[in-house]
Chains A and B, each alone.
Chain A
Amino acid sequence: MAVETREEAVTIKHHSEDYSVVGTRPVRHDGVDKVTGAARYGADVSQPGQIYGAVTRSPHAHARIRSIDTSKAEALPGVHAVITSADLADPGEKVTGGGEATAVPLKYKSGNVLARGKALYHGHAVAAVAAVDAHTAGEAAALIEVDYEVLPPVMDVLEAMQPGATLLHDDLHTDIAGEASEEPSNVAAKFLFEEGDVEAGFAEAAVVVEREFTFATVHQGYIENHNALALWHGDGELTVWCSSQGHFTIRAEVADILDVPVSKVKVIPTEIGGGFGGKTTCYLEPLAAALGRKAGRPVKMTMARADILKATGPTPGGYVRVKMGADSDGKITAAEAYMAFEAGGYPGSVVAAGCMCVFAPYKLSNVKIEGDDVVVNRPKTHAYRAPGATQAEFASETVVDEICEQLGMDVLEFRTLNSAEEGTWRAGGPAYGRIGHKECVEAARDSEHWQSTLEKPAGTYRGRGVASGFWFNIGFTSSAIARLNPDGTVTLLEGSPDIGGTRSSIAMQFAETLGIGFDDVIPMVVDTDSVGYTDVTGGSRVTFATGYAAHEAANDMRRQMIEGMADVWDVAADSITYENATFTANGESATFKEAAHLLNEDTQQIIGKATVTPEKEGNAFAVHIADVEVDVETGKVTVLRYTAVQDAGVAIYPPYVEGQMQGGAVQGIGWAFNEEYFYDENGLLRNATLLDYRMPTTLDVPMIETIIVEVPHPGSPFGVRGVGEVPIVPPPAALAIAIYDAVGIRYRDLPMSPHRVYAELAARQNGAEA
C-alpha cells in the first residue's frame, strides 16, 4: 500500500500500477474556453431569424383544464405561434423507450412537457408561444386564458396513500411486481426486497433501534437554466441545440413526443452548466420544436429560474422508517426499512434505488425493505446525484450511530465488523465484486482528522459525526470513435456530455492505452449523427463506461495501425510489435507520430471505434467525517472541518475526483441544513428564487479535505469505479450525528435548518425548566 501525499491532497493506493498519463494533473482540454467565456452553453447558441419562446404555466397545484383560449395571445403583434398539448402527438397508451431511453408511458412524458387534461403541480406547462423577442413572448404567454376547475392539492406522501385521498390520475393503478391493483390509487408502484428472516433476526438482537425520518423536496440547483433551440429544415429534418445530460435521450424523447422518426432528429449538444440528474429528460426541446414547426422559424427558449424550481425535476421528499438490530458483539442481526417517496405529478420516483441502497454498506442475512412510489401535486421528481440513496442512508446511518451508542461500540469498528465485502448479497443484487468500503473505513480511521481531538472551548457546543455512503455506479452503453490525424494526434469523438472534466478523463485512458501524451488526444463531444449511441451522463458512468469505450477504440486503432504499417513496410502484420508508442518490425521502427505520417502518405485512414456496455457496476463507497458547532441561541450549525474519504477505484484525473468529492459533500451539506421546497396550503411553491431556495455559498462551508482510496474496479481496464454521485450520500447523516454529539439531540427531519434545530433546543430547555 503506497501513500502519496501532496499539499492538501491524499491518495491511498491499494494497487501497484504505475501509469504515465492516468493519475496526472494536466489542464483539461476544454479549460481555456471555460475561463475566457468562449465556451458555448445551451443559451449561448443562436440561429439567423430565430424567434423566442415562452411558456404559460398553471397557477394551481391541481386543476382540471376545461378549456384554453389562445386568441388574445395570437392577436398580439409580434406573436408567431401558440401551442397547447393538442399540437403534440396523441400519446395514446404508447410506451416510450425500450432501447434508447427509460421505458415510460408517453402520456406521462408528453403530459409533463405540456399538461393534457389536468395541471398536476404549480408551474405545470399548459401552453407555449413564440414571438419576435423574449419580452413579447412573455406578454403573450400571460394573455393565454385557461379555464381551470381547481381541485384539492395532495402534497404529502403519507396523506396521498390514505383511503379516500384525492386521486391525481383516475387511471393509475398500483403496480405490484407487474400486477396492477384493482382500485386506482396514488401509489404508482410498490417494491419489496427480502432475504432471510427478519423476525428471527430481531429476536437474536441485544439492541433494536427503530426510527422514523422525513426529508424535504430539494432541487439539483444547476446554475445553467434549461434551454433549447429548434430549427426545422425544408425537408422535414429537425435540428435541436440544447444542453442536456444525454442528447441521444433528448433525441428519442423529442421524436416520440412529436411523433417524427428518430432519424429525422439531430440533437447537437452544447456545453452543459450542471445537471446532477436533473437534465436527463426534456422540458423545452419539444416545445421549441413544435413552435418552430408552426411558426416556420427557428425558436429559442430558456427557462426562468422560478420555473426551473417550480416545474423541473426536484428530487423526492418523503418518509423513511428504519429498524435495525445487533447482537452484543455488534453484529447486525436484522434490518428492515419502509420508505415512501414523492414521484411528483407523474409516476416514477427513485424509491427503488433508495431501497437497494439503504443497507448497502453492510453484510446482512436478514433484511426486508419495502418502498412505495407515490404521486403528489409536486413537479415530477428526478434523479439527483445518487438518487434515493441520500434520503435512505440518512436514515440507516443515523440508526447505525444510535445502535453503536447503545452498545458502547466504536462507530468505525462497527462498520469494519459489519462491512459489505466481495460476495456480500445486496438488495436487488447482484452480489458485490471487489469493493472498497472497508478500505474507506480504515482510511477514515487513520486520517489526521479522525485521529485529532475536536477542541471544545468552554461555552461552545461542538461535535463530530461520521457516516458511510453507497451508490451503485452503472455501466450502460457508450461509444467512441478515434480518428488518427496526419500529425500524429488523435481526434476522439464521444457522445457523453462533459459536465466536469470527463473529456479529459476519457482522453487520458485513450492516451494511456496507446502510450501517447495527454495533449496528443483531442476529445470532442459530438452530435447524435456523428458517434454511436451513448447513454446519459449519469450514474457516475462516463469516466468508467465511455473511458472503457475509449480504451477499446484505442486498441482498435492500434490493430489497424499495425495492419497499415504491415502494408507500408511490406511485412507480415504479426511481425510488428508496438511498445513505448513505437511500432517495430524486422529492423524497421516508427514512433506513433511517424507511423501516423507514413499511413497518411499511404492514403490509409485509421478510424478506431468501439461501443461497450460494461456489465460490472462500479459500486462506490464513501465515508465522511464532519465537525460542527451549534449556536444554541439561534440553531445555526457551522461546519468546522470536513473530510471526505472515497474509493475511486483508480483516480484517472485526481483534481477532478477531488472536485467531485468536494462538490458532492457541499451539496449534501446544503441538503442537510438549508434546502427545502416550501409549499403553502394551496400547494403553491413560495420560495422559487435562489435567495429563498438557499444553496450553500462560499461563506457556508469550510475547505473540504479529500482522501482518495484506490481499490481498483475489476470491471474496468484501468480500475475506474466512477466518482460523481456517492459523495452526496453521507453528509446529512454525518452532520446529524455531529449535531447529536454537540447538543445531545437526534434530528431526524431534513433539513436541519436553524429554526428546526432551535425548536428542539428550546423545547428541551423549557422541559428542563418546567
Chain B
Amino acid sequence: MATEILSGKVHVNTTINGESTDFLAEPRESLLEVLRETLGLTGAKEGCNDGNCGACNVILDGRLVNSCCVLAVEAGGADVTTIEGIAGPSGLHPLQEKFLEHAALQCGVCTPGFLVSAKAMLDENPNPTEDDVRWWLAGNLCRCTGYDKIVRAVLDAAASMRGEG
C-alpha cells in the first residue's frame, strides 16, 4: 500500500530517483516541502510556491510537474525524478555538461528546475528546434542569464545526445 494514515501524518511509499522511499507527511504538505525538509533533497528550490517559476520542477511518472503544486501524499506509488537523479553513475548528464560548457547558469538557483524541464522535453522530443526549447522552458524563470545560453546549451545537449557534434 502506497499510503497509510498514522497519527495525523500519512505514510507514503514512493520511488525517488530509482530508490524506494518512505516518508511521513501531513496531508497539507507539498511534495516540495517533503523533498526539501523531510528527505533532504534540497536541489528543487522554492521560488514562488504557486507554480509560476519552475525552480521546484520534478518529473512525476513521466510528467513534468511543479513539486510545490503537488501534495506529498499524491506521490504515493509514483516514480519521481529530481535534479539529484539526473546525473548517472558514470558522470554528468549531457544537459549538465552543456550547461557548464555554455556558461548557462549564473547564480544557479533556477538551474535545477531548468535541467529537469529540459530533460523532460528531451525524453519526449530528442530533436527540438529553438522554438520548441523556448516553449518548453517558458515555465521556468531565470533572472540572471537572459536565457540565451540556456537555450543554446539545451540545443547543443540534444545534438550531442543524438550523436551529432
Contact = CB atoms under 8 A, between A and B. Distances in A.
Nearest to A224: B109
A501 B150 CA distance: 15
A551 to B, nearest CB: 23
A699 B135 contact: yes
A224 B45 contact: yes
B14 interface: no
Contact of B48 (A27, A305, A499, A662): A305
Interface in A315-374: none
A704 interface: yes
B143 A36 contact: no
Contacts of A704: 146, 148
Contact of A41 (B86, B109, B143, B149): B109
Interface in A13-47: 25, 27-28, 30-32, 34-41, 43-44, 46
A22 B48 CA distance: 38
Interface string A214-227: 00000011111100
Contacts of A223: 45, 47, 53, 55, 107, 109-110, 141-143
Contact of B107 (A135, A500, A667, A698): A500
A32 B92 contact: yes
Given A37-B112, A40-B42, A223-B53, A656 B103 contact: yes
A666 B48 contact: no
Interface in B22-68: 26, 28-29, 33, 36-37, 41-50, 52-53, 55
B24 to A, nearest CB: 12
B129 to A, nearest CB: 13
Contacts of B41: 37
B145 interface: yes
A659 B100 CA distance: 13
B36 A666 contact: no
A500 B92 CA distance: 21
| Size category of the binding interface on chain A | 35 or more
B73 interface: no
Nearest to B83: A37
B25 to A, nearest CB: 11
B45 A273 contact: yes
Contacts of B48: 305, 689-690
B148 A662 contact: yes
A665 B146 contact: yes
Contact of A659 (B101, B139, B145): B145
Contact of A35 (B26, B52, B115, B148): B115
A304 B53 CA distance: 13
A691 B141 contact: no
Given A32-B100, A656-B106, A689 B112 contact: no
B78 interface: no
Given A305-B48, A663-B143, A667-B143, A37 B149 contact: no
Contacts of A224: 45, 47, 107, 109
A697 interface: yes
A664 B152 CA distance: 18
B84 A37 contact: yes
Contact of A37 (B42, B138, B143, B144): B42
A135 B28 contact: yes
B107 A28 contact: no
A656 B55 CA distance: 22
Interface residues of B, number: 59
Contacts of B50: 305, 689-691
Contact of B36 (A44, A221, A690, A699): A44
Interface in B72-127: 82-84, 86-87, 92, 96, 99-103, 105-112, 115
A659 B107 CA distance: 11
A46 B41 CA distance: 12
A305 B49 contact: yes
A698 B42 contact: no
B49 A44 contact: no
B59 to A, nearest CB: 14
Interface in B131-163: 133-135, 137-152
Contacts of B55: 223
A214 B121 CA distance: 42
B74 to A, nearest CB: 17
B107 A27 contact: no
A118 B89 CA distance: 57
A35 to B, nearest CB: 4
Most central of B43, B47, B55, B112 by chain A CB within 10 Å: B47
A404 B146 CA distance: 31
Contacts of A32: 92, 96, 100
A37 B96 contact: no
B104 to A, nearest CB: 8
Contact of B108 (A27, A39, A276, A699): A39
Interface string B7-32: 00000000000000000001011000
B92 A35 contact: yes
Contact of B100 (A31, A222, A664): A31
Contacts of B111: 34-35
A272 B107 contact: yes
Contacts of B110: 223, 273
A334 B141 CA distance: 43
Most central of A134, A225, A305, A698 by chain B CB within 10 Å: A698
B155 to A, nearest CB: 11
Contacts of A695: 141, 143
Contacts of A222: 107, 109, 143
Most central of B46, B86, B87 by chain A CB within 10 Å: B46
A360 to B, nearest CB: 24
Given A40-B42, A223-B47, A691-B50, A34 B108 contact: yes
24 contacts: A27-B100, A31-B105, A35-B96, A35-B108, A36-B84, A36-B87, A37-B41, A44-B42, A222-B107, A224-B109, A272-B109, A273-B109, A305-B47, A305-B49, A500-B144, A662-B148, A663-B143, A665-B146, A666-B145, A689-B48, A690-B53, A698-B140, A698-B150, A701-B147
Interface of A: 8, 25, 27-28, 30-32, 34-41, 43-44, 46, 134-135, 220-225, 271-276, 302, 304-305, 499-501, 655-656, 658-660, 662-667, 689-691, 695-699, 701, 703-704
9 nearest A-B pairs in the assembled complex, by CB-CB distance: A37-B43, A273-B109, A666-B146, A34-B108, A655-B103, A500-B106, A662-B146, A37-B83, A44-B42
Given A44-B36, A223-B45, 14 more contacts: A35-B111, A36-B86, A37-B84, A224-B45, A224-B109, A273-B109, A304-B49, A655-B102, A655-B103, A659-B144, A689-B48, A691-B52, A698-B140, A699-B135
